[in-house]
Chain A
């Protein structure tokens, strides 16, 4: 297993390199840059001179290959540069915003798994029963509605109408409860639900489908013939096998949830990587664009790696191959 993981990790290096080159070139292909707006500030005495000075200060007057080599060299030393827009080290910004996105994505994943798998299993056990039919309908409905629509619905019901939960941020700005665990939880619930609901429906459908495939397998029939209890058959034999493709999907979704969080973060004013990367792109904040692109790529690749590792762990044939 260790060799397998090391081999996969080494395989990430060329992929990341290609991603950095593509990201770097695409970023520079976008017209304009972070300092161009200064020229349009009528109060700056010599905007054009300031503009050129800032370009030089930030190395943007050099050729693209030179800029790229500098950037890669700095990255290898752990220096992501200074954000043009925030005027802060990029690593500091990521240190502030990444935990928020991680918290949101992990909570959403947990919600997805603890809700969808039991429902999917129960649907498979009671296939074509009233619960299965009605929840299949609900699942299709949930799956076909984008997360941001859920976000608005949830806000309308639980924040604006009932006033139970706050509509924005990760914690309250003031009040006796501000900053407490409960305060964090109250702020987290709605965005995590909005992020989880569409995937939750998908996972329920997958769990149901895979379980139904396994239920009719020969080894299940054998287990039943041996007189094993239905719970033992369900959890020892059916669930363990049905979960293998779900685990793979889970790994892929880790990267997907990061991307999916962008809109949700905007709506809930959740200061995470989505908002950071969007602002970086709109402001042509090159160091931040590159760092967030790299981070998203790493997240997707790590998600895939986790999926592969979990798959290998649960299915020995993967390792052998």
Chain B
């Protein structure tokens, strides 16, 4: 799958919801053609473009690929379907208390480990205890500790082996989780992703020793569709179908994940060494001529954007003028950009959620159509006067904002050149800086509390989780907002309204989907109008796969339901 280096990808922002989805959930969705008779058996080979991490205790490794492997091996309490709706998994029933603070769960009677033992409440408890523990959060980075932080008693890391007071066992198959305040986003964005862990295996080892235990290198049981049977470090993981899988025994018997350089993945697909993999847009036309391959194009739950440091010491005042940012949005010919850069495989993005997202506000579809005239009009209104062909600041200073781009991806340099020419056309003298390393960009953003870092405009992208909850990224107090665009001025009525709507979308009333959708629509409209960053487009992924592979559901959240896939002869 295409990974732009500008994506604050993997380690940066890919949230757990989308990870889980990529393991087996669904979407807007395409499905490979089905045959009348389903054959069992066979081997499929999937790919990783870089190495996977070596820690196989769930949630321990920061590698997105390791999480993908473990997502095949360890199912979660709930999954999401292709419409981004929660569906049962190891838990087959769930319901809320009247005050919406407690959610009750019932484990599926079919939920079993791959050795035939039932998945128990003790296993669920161990999964929660692990994510809440001091060992996990203090010593092992604890990237997924957020999944349980809303459980009462787990807001801060707790002593290893103790259970948050918000967890209650009701019977041998039922348990409940309680939060301090009703939160409509908690189940979809957090608790559904909790993975029960095998207490008969890991429960005997102190959590502080998990990382040094044999199971961190190879874990022989799981509750997911496939269980690892062989790991070749840095190269491949071979997994066999779980005969006790909760959803039924997978049709395909062997599932291999191989690390394959993106440079050669096309050849591997053509020669049959790889069954299914993402390909680059530029290769699509050539690959379509290869016999035996099918293709699916799926929008990503992600978007590219042009950010401005609103606190910048040189031009922060100008960037903070909403008319400047709106003018930039009108000035950029995004259809042309998509055709040039993405060969047409992208959708214009006008707000903080991509059009493919279930929660997207369709009213934004036609906002900001390319119009240099409107851009000029807005810049004139904002006081950016033209002098010697170039605009000055409203105060009369030369206005030469810079654009920072990351190295290692020629497409970003091309994109920057396009944006420069579009802005030059409305008399903004944008200067594209030489590319710098991605870590340097992060470093400049992270250290820019006083606005004195050289970074002014920048091109980045966000991957989003399946739940639209804007917290973490968009509130005025969110670290990510502060360190990226700095849309944090609480004297700005738009920022105040933004925070109010973000709060409202997770209150008790927002448990009603239509209410939450309405609030999120208002929020998207607000953000689109204020354009705190210039939204560009939502890219699409092209997956190529053998025409012998059937039953795969492609979605913005990944390839779904691997247990339903099958191979024809």
Contact = CB atoms under 8 A, between A and B. Distances in A.
B273 A267 contact: no
B145 interface: yes
Contacts of A86: 53-54
A209 interface: no
Nearest to A173: B236
Given A37-B8, A41-B13, A169 B258 contact: yes
Contacts of B396: none
Contact of A269 (B233, B258, B471): B258
Interface in B18-40: none
A71 B50 CA distance: 28
Contacts of A36: 439, 442-443, 446
A86 B211 CA distance: 12
Interface stretch (B89-97, B109-117, B476-484): B476-484
Nearest to A100: B234
Contacts of A169: 232, 235-236, 258-259
A152 interface: yes
Contacts of B45: 173
Interface stretch (A12-20, A47-55, A305-313): A47-55
Interface stretch (B263-271, B384-392, B397-405, B528-536): B263-271
Contact of B437 (A32, A269, A271): A32
A155 interface: yes
B261 A267 contact: yes
A174 B254 contact: yes
A38 B144 CA distance: 11
A103 interface: no
B369 to A, nearest CB: 30
Contacts of A50: 141-142
Contacts of B70: none
A87 B142 CA distance: 13
Contacts of A166: 273
Given A31-B440, A174-B43, A271 B51 contact: yes
A129 B211 CA distance: 66
Interface stretch (A135-143, A156-164, A226-234): A156-164
A197 B235 CA distance: 25
Contact of B267 (A43, A44, A53, A155): A155
Given A156-B267, A168-B258, A173-B230, A269 B146 contact: no
Contact of B442 (A40, A42, A171, A279): A40
A284 B440 CA distance: 11
Contact of A88 (B54, B236, B270, B472): B54
Nearest to A48: B479
A159 B442 contact: no
Contacts of A170: 232, 235
Contacts of A57: 139
Contacts of A236: none
B11 interface: yes
B333 interface: no
Contacts of B146: 43-45
Given A173-B235, A174-B254, A174-B256, A42 B271 contact: no
A87 B8 contact: no
Interface in A166-211: 166-171, 173-174
A283 B55 CA distance: 17
Instruction: Name the interface size band of chain A.
Output: 35 or more
A159 B439 contact: no
A87 B440 CA distance: 23
A97 B11 CA distance: 23
A303 B103 CA distance: 66
B263 A43 contact: no
B338 interface: no
A32 B442 contact: yes
A266 interface: yes
A115 interface: no
A173 B260 contact: no
Nearest to A39: B446
A47 B437 CA distance: 22
B141 A38 contact: yes
A96 interface: yes
A166 B274 CA distance: 11
Contacts of A152: 263-264
A155 B260 CA distance: 13
A265 B55 CA distance: 23
A275 interface: yes
A6 interface: no
Interface string B211-247: 1000000000000000000101111111000000000
A118 B561 CA distance: 58
Contact of B273 (A30, A31, A159): A159
Given A32-B439, A44-B143, A50-B142, A159 B267 contact: yes
A6 B219 CA distance: 48
A252 interface: no
A40 B483 contact: yes
Nearest to B43: A174
12 contacts: A37-B442, A40-B484, A41-B11, A42-B480, A46-B479, A50-B142, A57-B139, A85-B53, A173-B237, A269-B260, A279-B50, A283-B11
Interface of B: 8, 11-13, 15-16, 43, 45, 50-51, 53-55, 60-62, 138-146, 149, 211, 230, 232-238, 254, 256, 258-261, 263-264, 267-268, 270-273, 437, 439-440, 442-446, 465, 471-473, 478-480, 483-484
